[in-house]
Amino acid sequence: MKTLFLIILIIMSLLLCSCVGHTTSNTKSATQQTTKQGAHDVAYPDKIIYVSVTDKSGVALEIAFNNAKKSAILHFRGAHIDVKQDTTASGIHYSNQHYDYREWHGEIELEKDGKVVFQHQ
């Protein structure tokens, strides 16, 4: 009986020693990310994601997603449009009083007052 208790005690201590101090972390703490814009490198804070897309006619839509504040700034035809994130089951949806931005499976659509003003597939 004493040997069985001793074996169990040894096995438990080995298990505890093998688990102590062993931690894994898949997160990277980066303070900035560098993005190419044309021929220039621009550094941005790590919580903001910058995206630029063009439609079939060559009109550009630049988007700055701020995931920490659940908002985005759209740069479209010289206008700076502030939008707030809306809850969706799938895809991305940001809107304000006049604009509605949706992205789902790579298809992007921007509406102004219910009329589609930008579309990218």
Rg (CA), the chain: 25
Domain that holds residue 73: 43-120
Tell me, what CATH number does 68's domain have?
Answer: 2.40.128
**Residue 60 resides in a domain:** yes
Please state the pTM of the whole predicted model.
Answer: 0.58
**Residue 25 resides in a domain:** no
Q: What is the mean pLDDT of the chain?
A: 75
**How many folded domains does the chain comprise?**
1
**Residue 89 resides in a domain:** yes
**Residue 15 resides in a domain:** no
CA dist 24 and 6 (Å) reads 31
**Residue 52 resides in a domain:** yes
**Residue 3 resides in a domain:** no
**Each residue of 45-100: pLDDT tens digit?**
557 888 889 888 888 999 998 888 889 999 988 889 899 988 887 888 999 899 99
